[in-house]
Amino acid sequence: MNTRLQLVFDRFAKFNLTLDPNKIQICKTNITYLGFNISAYGYAPSEDNIQKVTKFPVPQNVKQVQSYLGMMNYFRHLIFNYAEVVEPIVNLITKGTPFFWSENCQDAFNVMQEIILNKPTVKNYDESKPLYLTTDASKVALCAILLQKDGENFYPIEFFSKQLSPSERNYP
């Protein structure tokens, strides 16, 4: 048996843990786990999750906006500059802000739908290859991409973004 697999089984036995044969997936090249398709190449949203996102209706109230943002937040580590893209939608949940679905909100919604429909994929980290970090900032958000070079191409390993607070937006 594969030495690594045997180590996993030994560790389970050591701590008296059991595996459900109906749920375990061994010797597969691609699995779906927690809503992501995972392979030796990397991971991307599963088809089920892509369908959930693309079929989500345009939010009509704050509660629906919160649901939408909660769903999209699950994918933020796959999306370049996520915080800036969804900023018009996030502004709708600011306390005291009247709900108005603007053209900017619709544009952000459409961009997010398109990104997920294109199945964003991040590559698995390879410790033998160098890492590169690219950062950017705007008046509303910060973002970073962790990349690895494979041959002549750079591949994303992880995305990070953060919307700036009102006080942070005033920094020089």
User: Over 125-150, what HEC string results?
Assistant: CCCCCCEEEEEEECCCEEEEEEEEEE
Please state the domain count of the chain.
1
Q: What is the arithmetic mean of pLDDT over 46-58?
A: 96
CA angle 112, 32, 6 (to 5 degrees): 145
Residues 6+ apart with CB under 8 A from 103: none
Give me the pLDDT at residue 56, please: 97
CA distance 74 to 76: 6
Give me the pLDDT at residue 113, please: 96
Give me the pLDDT at residue 1, please: 55
Model confidence, pTM: 0.83
Q: What six digits make up the tokens of 1? A: 């048996």
| Residue 26 clears pLDDT 90, i.e. is over it | no
Q: Are 71 and 147 in contact (CB under 8 A)?
A: no
CA distance 37 to 31: 6
Q: What is the arithmetic mean of pLDDT over 15-30?
A: 87
Domain around 22: 3-170
Q: What is the arithmetic mean of pLDDT over 139-167?
A: 94
